[in-house]
Structure 1
């Protein structure tokens, strides 16, 4: 396995720092794993490991700003800005057959029907799991260089073109993928987790493990055992196991790991460990905050909360955190099945298809108009009386029933039961997929363009400044029927 190793030990006689051996690391991991396994062995199994991935090959659509190769449309300069969903012809449904994907801050992982993961996007942290510095690859210009404003230059060929991840085991079935800003991971049908890349923190590079700075190829993470679900933040990742116990790994400076991380022992967060959460059936994450849904359908949250993105009405101010998991009272009894978040906002989906949002308003991330917010008692105002956030989860009434949700850094997406995508939030990067917009999108608006008009969208994902969807084409009768339904709904909002 190719890795950059962190040099922490005292220099030897030659002045070079000795590296810990791989066998030593394996022994430490095995010891930690044995202790964790024994500690949790008495708990009953409440979650099942997915036995297989999604089965339907999808047409993949991308849109937004792709200046760091995020869109995966190849190196041509005209792929840097895509204002409405565009079919990615480099991932044909009949040949590649993508069945699932996960979107990170600046990269995407896509699982195909043949048990292979494809990747594209910025590869500075090794997140693509393959070598993109081979001879012949065009280099992106240094963003700090004086002539970096050349918008006409082509992108790095290997980063902007989808290609298979290298070094994954051939004898295991991949069932899910996950992506943070700087790390990639996949879940196997036996509950194992493989990961590659690194984590960053406030001061810069944090590392992958205590003695590995950047892991360039997939590596099995021993502490993740019998995992049933992964949830990725900006620079942390959660794992839920069969016992209903949650493990956290990565940067924890905003308490997103569910526990306090001391600066002098910061590298200890580079070992996945549980932090007291049990009886959990689902997990989710924002960039610096996180969520868990209990078996009795309570929703818990923790992490950065300065805009109320945890749904907890305490300490709504700069740098405020929820230091340990607390229940979001307003989501009790709502039947929440999925919850996620961006940098400062969050979205929750109920089993009945209702969507609830909370958090920052400045870039219209929560999808509620200023007029409606002014009528709500829970809206938070700054010292000048300006509404800045909504810490109380609130149902979106301008959106049809939904089956999937996604949150980018400052924009939001929802897929209706009929397979339409609605978007709202920050519009300057075109990540909302609505073309040229003079202002940010205040309320959910349907994406209606030729590429996706006849598709039932099944999966959605959002990154820092781009979005990805996957769907299947409908026959003409189904298209006509759902068009009638959505037009009737939109007309009802105007009355």
Structure 2
């Protein structure tokens, strides 16, 4: 089905999430995470053969393995199984369902992949995990008394909670419950658990890091994301919190001071607890000021009648638009994190990006002679490698952004109308742009993907990307073509 003729919109139904056929592009030569058996890489969007007749409703990929959930609520897995992350036995390089007797009657709806750890939420919101965490010194464990968990197991310490979102980094996990509370666990060598009480006590860390604990100071959270060794949490008011490894400024904690310059004193390499990102606090404060100003204007209108100067019929249309533009300051709605970079999708369909940028991770063209605010250079080659202050990459999506997700060094953006853009590293064709086997510096429409049909879900690993493309026209409502 060619997507160029018309756009389609998912007719939302929470009880039946959109499902479709799973396609993959990129490289899986080392671990088989693309799910094509002995085929090491694919340059064109290719159906994952063993799942051709399965309707996939959720998908997640990491550096080492991939998980998918089908319409029946079954989890399929493939990739590296050295540490139990596949949750099953048998051939690892092709998708196979997890059929352990303990989950025979459990229906799952969401999955997330760490490097050697897997997570899932069932239809009741209960949390399951399996695999093992790793540290710089090797295997870290699954629980204090279990090194490797080889099949999905309910997390007993939080079994009474209802979770709505999960995320995994290289060696840690986050889970968001229906009360807006965030839980973290795993290996926290770089502060990415947000639990500073564990940092300086090795024995306590070994015993307690592996148990999910609610993070103090975070409330009303609506979205979470994990980089390799850093974490993000977004609250309902658009305030963003970050913590963990910050050596590429992926936590985004630099802020402007009174003269407009950047205060570099906050460029610490490790952030050991959830810390509000100043940029988004500034944005929300400005929004509140404009909101208060508009409220004051409306109060005056009510007192003085409709013949106020600003809204007089004799005033120009531009005055009204200017007031509206000032009031509608964008706030963060979606977040995502790559290995060492972070992204926020704003309410005006623009992006704010920060962190590592030497392989196009931020969707910004880095000009050699241009001075970027809050940028960091490698002295030996005089090259910018990171930007520490959330920055607009000057691209605006022409359609509402529905989902954004990061691989190790690339980013995918999916619109409400089922189209996908991407940018960042493309050396392994993980963006599906075979004609351009270099870094893609700005968000680019991924036509090889979009020409297959409407995309309803996306996932990004290290050197590959996954796309769920709709299989049933009845699930969509035809709408007018958008430019």
Q: TM-score range by the shorter chain?
A: 0.7 to 0.9
1:359–1:366: 8 Å Cα contact kept in structure 2? Answer: yes
1:422-447 deviation line (CA, Å, top 9, x unaligned): 22222222212211535322222222
Residue 386 of structure 1: aligned partner: 383
1:104-146 deviation line (CA, Å, top 9, x unaligned): 22211111111111111111111111112xxxxxxxxxxxxxx
1:258-307 deviation line (CA, Å, top 9, x unaligned): 02333333312011112312332222211111111123221111111111
State whether structure 2 residue 449 is matched by structure 1 residue 456.
Answer: no
Residue 165 of structure 1: aligned partner: 98
- Count of residue correspondences: 401
Separation in structure 2 between the aligned mates of residue 373 and residue 102 of structure 1, nearest angstrom: 39
Residue 420 of structure 1: aligned partner: 419
Residue 203 of structure 1: aligned partner: 137
Residue 329 of structure 1: aligned partner: 278
Shift of 1:244: 2.1
Shift of 1:381: 2.7
State whether structure 2 residue 71 is matched by structure 1 residue 72.
Answer: no
Moved over 4 A (4+): 51-54, 314-317, 478-482
Separation in structure 1 between the aligned mates of residue 172 and residue 146 of structure 2, nearest angstrom: 16
Structure 1: 5+ residue stretches without partners: 1-50, 133-157, 486-495
1:281/1:372 CA distance change after superposition, 3 Å: farther
1:67-94 deviation line (CA, Å, top 9, x unaligned): 1111112x23xx21112322223212xx
Residue 257 of structure 1: aligned partner: 193
1:186–1:193: 8 Å Cα contact kept in structure 2? Answer: yes
Q: How does 1:462-477 map to 2 (within 5 A)?
A: 462-472=460-470
Larger RCO, structures 1/2 (Cα 8 Å, 6+ apart): 2
Q: How does 1:427-446 map to 2 (within 5 A)?
A: 427-435=426-434, 437-446=436-445
1:53–1:174: 8 Å Cα contact kept in structure 2? Answer: no
1:409/1:53 CA distance change after superposition, 3 Å: farther
Separation in structure 2 between the aligned mates of residue 216 and residue 352 of structure 1, nearest angstrom: 44
State whether structure 2 residue 243 is matched by structure 1 residue 302.
Answer: yes
SS in 2 for 1:433: coil
Residue 395 of structure 1: aligned partner: 392
SS in 1 for 2:251: coil
State whether structure 2 residue 172 is matched by structure 1 residue 236.
Answer: yes
SS in 1 for 2:279: helix
1:164/1:245 CA distance change after superposition, 3 Å: same
TM-score normalized by the length of structure 1: 0.75
Shift of 1:316: 7.8
Root mean square deviation of aligned Cα: 2.6
Residue 272 of structure 1: aligned partner: 212
1:134-164 deviation line (CA, Å, top 9, x unaligned): xxxxxxxxxxxxxxxxxxxxxxxx1122111
Shift of 1:53: 6.5
Residue 20 of structure 2: aligned partner: 58
TM-score normalized by the length of structure 2: 0.77
Separation in structure 1 between the aligned mates of residue 367 and residue 15 of structure 2, nearest angstrom: 43
1:440-483 deviation line (CA, Å, top 9, x unaligned): 2222222222x6404111211111111111122698xx99975x
Residue 291 of structure 2: aligned partner: none
